[in-house]
A = this chain, B = another copy of it.
Amino acid sequence: MALSVVELDELHQQLDLWREQGLSIGFVPTMGGLHEGHCSLMRQAQSLCDRLVVSIFVNPTQFAPHEDLEDYPRDAQGDHNKSEAAGADLVWLAQHQDIYPPNWSTTIVPQGVGLGLETDHRPHFFTGVATVVARLLTLVRPDVAVFGEKDYQQLLVVRQLNDDLRLGAKIVGGRLIRDGDGLALSSRNVYLGPEAREQARTVPKALQLMCEAYASGERDPSTLNALGEVTLSDQGLSIDYCRIVSSTNLEAPMDLLDDSPQSWRALIAARCHGIRLLDNCALDDPPWR
């Protein structure tokens, strides 16, 4: 049975108890709307620690005013059950006043890996993410925290933030999970009707074509990026970015790619029937084998 916790005091009592017993704490922060992608992060975290905490908090500061904060999927009981089944020992339904107390005055602005890509389209996004993640990590103080590679840039932002502010967690990336049709799992996929869903599949297809071209010897990043872009735009998707970047620092290749496909990652953000889709893969890890 996973504990269901709302109050911060109760969370801290339980964490203190586990720590006194010498148990290590794993943490998977979520915004709810849980799917198999989240559950796989939880199973991974659970395998790395003694006790697993899952938080559910829809963070308003990472939504822009025109974005879908109000409509973001919420199902507390369903989320609790899924977390429990995936190994959570405690599900923390965080309250707004505990994450942002009345005097809260601190905003964290990430530079470095937080600049460009997502930030070009959602300027305040990583500021919101960094601020809430810093708060969550300082409230939970986990030994290990797992963030999905689905939000690859976010994973690198969180890792850097954790280093810079010495938040003390080991930040682990969790593998992106795809549906049977290749589409990356996302809470927002529920908004895709059948036609939009078919169109959305173009995103993993574009990644697949980029990986296959690389595997066939193409080493020019511009050619590979263009291949992905044409694939997306031919199917009517609106492209925010489709780009091969360094896996470690997200910088664009200065030259032709080398022969280490894990060093490079293809990142796509595209909009399909009003839904923004994110997907990515290492060049040796295409959506389909």
> Footprint of B on A, CB under 8 Å?
101, 103-114, 130, 134-135, 138-139, 157, 160-161, 163-166
Contact = CB atoms under 8 A, between A and B. Distances in A.
Nearest to A105: B112
Contact of A105 (B114, B138, B139): B114
Contacts of A113: 105
B106 A110 contact: yes
Contacts of A163: 101, 103
A106 B138 contact: no
Contacts of A111: 105-107
B106 A160 contact: yes
Contacts of A114: 105
A101 B107 CA distance: 21
Contacts of A104: 112, 164
A106 B106 CA distance: 12
Contacts of A164: 101, 104-106, 135
A283 to B, nearest CB: 24
A106 B135 CA distance: 14
B107 A109 contact: yes
A129 to B, nearest CB: 12
23 contacts: A101-B163, A101-B164, A103-B160, A103-B163, A104-B112, A105-B110, A105-B112, A105-B113, A105-B114, A105-B157, A105-B160, A105-B164, A106-B109, A106-B111, A106-B130, A106-B160, A106-B165, A107-B109, A107-B110, A108-B108, A134-B165, A138-B165, A165-B165
Given A106-B130, A106-B165, 16 more contacts: A103-B112, A103-B160, A104-B112, A104-B164, A105-B112, A105-B157, A105-B160, A105-B164, A106-B109, A106-B161, A106-B164, A107-B109, A107-B111, A135-B164, A135-B165, A165-B165
A119 to B, nearest CB: 12
A260 B163 CA distance: 45
Contacts of A101: 163-164
Nearest to A110: B105
10 A-B pairs with the lowest CB-CB distances in the bound complex, closest first: A105-B112, A106-B164, A138-B166, A107-B109, A105-B111, A105-B160, A105-B110, A108-B108, A138-B165, A104-B164
A200 to B, nearest CB: 32
A76 B272 CA distance: 61
Contacts of A107: 108-111
